[in-house]
Structure 1
């Protein structure tokens, strides 16, 4: 049984964070273990409150899982604070596991999910441990201290600049770009573009969490990074395409993680 571990925050609305990650693992045939970094009071419209889990407890959760379960890949999502980032980095150091790092910074509702001082810890401690970094365009810009990329050349330039910070691969997600086609650009040892028609829906809550955990599921199953990204991209497109059938909440609803298995 392939096992993947998600290290992320909880979304009480069920559409993003730990909940989205575990749904994704299950939908793709992977057993999911989880480590909570924060508890949020959240729905499809807003993040009303955030309660951070103490760093010592984050470290203890990771150690408990890795000392017993045969984890084959790790997905890291919301960390929130520099202390949390350092706790995760310390707990994963020397384990040699594939790591998919989603630098979660802002919720779909626009609410901030990370402290400014945590950016430095993320860059210094976790980017060098990442197998795949999956920023959207605003997140990539914030990590680099630049303006968001507005054309393909700048997207690729920022992807290469992020590679210089330590990850083996960077997937520059195109969800925040304009145009009728949404293109995710994978840069690293080789270059791959993954394009799909942009879908007209507001139900995209948790897409970043879902994509990164889908990539981690592929790595846990022994797939190479380009193949894991390709499958994750196509599977997420299907989940977004089916999202409107769910009709969850009155804001940005979730994607349909089980679109291949049951209709709404």
Structure 2
């Protein structure tokens, strides 16, 4: 890096702020990656939403700090000092001295900007004059307004649906008590379903698709039956065990 003797206190502070913001962003990414790759079942939606909001906040802080200290960061440049281990740390040295993004990173950014340009106004790699959206439909402002409306509306619809389902369940319970005797002959066919293997949870399928590892499938219904049987054996008199 640039020699510290030629850097002012403000330069060092700007560099340290950028480093801390970048470290916080990387930490947030690692948390989300760990939740998605190693948790079975997958975390619930509120947990993922909280992690995503924290990541977005750290990215925002990083962008704000680099914009505030743009002049100081622009003056800095990287070059190795004589004591830098160039042979053992050649990969790090290459990254520090690289002036352009790697080709696969440029392709990844171009692909992302291509998708975003369908509803956003932007230039190439965020620079240059902005261009209008390439396809008709909702623009970024319409999408933002849609999400602001959709959240509260979805909650209202969910409350109405679940309330209606609860009322239907109560009616079905009342009708089921009257039909118990009629359903008795059909109980002979029920055990066939118990022999069917349990369906894989969605989290298990997604974990296998992303990692290739087959997670342990837990039959929660069987575990519950085993626990209930063990509890009955413990509660039974000694002569009946």
TM (norm. structure 2) is 0.24
Structure whose alpha-carbon radius of gyration is higher: 2
Decide which structure has greater strand share: 1
Normalised by the size of structure 1, how large is the TM-score?
A: 0.22
Q: Which has the higher helix share?
A: 2
